[in-house]
Amino acid sequence: MNCSDALTIVAGGAHSALAKAVAHELGVPLACADVKAFSDGETRVHIAHPCRERHVVILQPTSPPVNDHMMALALLADAACAAGAARVTAVVPYFGYARQELRKRVGDPRSAQFVGKLLASAGIDELITIDLHAPALESALPMPAIVLDAEEVLLPHIRRWEVPQPVVVAPDAGGLKRAQRYAHSLGADLAVIAKERPRPDVAAPSRVLGDVRQRDCLIVDDMATTGKTLIGAAEALRARGARDVYAAFTHAVFSPGAAQAIAAAGFAKVVTTDSIAIPRDVGRWLEIVPVTPLLTRAIREQCDWPTRSLETAT
């Protein structure tokens, strides 16, 4: 059976609204999975939808609680395979553990690669994700991976801000290539902040490389977890004479207190995507751009699935 003849979209529970939007855009009824936990925290899943000889697409960002959502994804993939799925694609807009792709000292695991092996052993044939924290991880995963660029949906939104002659800023050396792409697309100058990371989730800006005096600055990053990298970068830019500071990041991971800290940091505007379900109480200061167009296009290309209405599909 050609995969274009039978496509099933399964919502893993981590971001039901995004799964619903993707299914609607594809014209496919959404197959909601039953994801529960026993009293001891053990995860139990069930897909109450036909999977036999179908291409099953599981949409599940591995956002906090990362381990719970990752285990649910693996179990859903195994459930689909056990039910006779012809192929299983995991759409993981935010891929947890991507920050741990390197062994920095003896005794460290290769966590990102291990998670990839776990998902492959569960029966996932390919992975679709957005803005991996470590781009090199794409080639280290055991299954084919399609890494989408969030800038495709973020840049049009940023242009509507009409920031005059901005300087695009990489908050660290690791984000330089991303900042270069944004700067090229916006016709903007580029700056980078040299920083130290003495321990996980702690970053200390040291100096700004580039001219930002009396300039509006746009910090671009792949994620905001504690918010300390963004806030520290903004403080360093203001100390060098920058005017308004804007921020754009792909994944709003937001550990406890992060959203409040970013909101209070004095950014002119902040934009992110809905790759992760964002709590409703975050506030209007955060502008959110949907990633549905990115994901639906990638799924169509993988499945040779035509554009059609839900009414036609049903």
Which positions of the chain have pLDDT values less than 70?
1-5, 196-206, 305-314
pLDDT value, residue 200: 63
> Is it true that 3-149+293-313 and 151-290 share their CATH fold?
yes
Determine the pLDDT at residue 306.
67
- The predicted pLDDT at position 1 comes to 43
Q: What is the pLDDT of residue 104?
A: 86
> How big is the CA angle at 201 (ends 196 and 205), to the nearest 5 degrees?
30
What residues does each domain of the chain span?
A: 3-149+293-313, 151-290
Residue 143, both tokens? 């299954």
Contact 8, 313 (CB under 8 A): no
What does the pLDDT read at residue 63? Answer: 95
Query: 183, 191 in Cβ contact below 8 A?
Result: no
Q: Which amino acid belongs to residue 305? A: W
CATH for 3-149+293-313 is 3.40.50.2020
Active site residues: 195
Amino acid 136: pLDDT: 76
Query: How far is residue 207 from each of residues 45, 79, 174, 231, measured CA to CA in Å?
Result: 49, 51, 15, 14
CB distance 103 to 110 below 8 Å? yes
- Give the per-residue pLDDT at 186: 97
Whole-prediction pTM value? 0.90
Contact 132, 147 (CB under 8 A): yes
Tell which CATH classification among 3.90.1150.10, 3.40.50.2020, 3.40.50.1220, 3.30.230.10 matches the domain 151-290. Answer: 3.40.50.2020
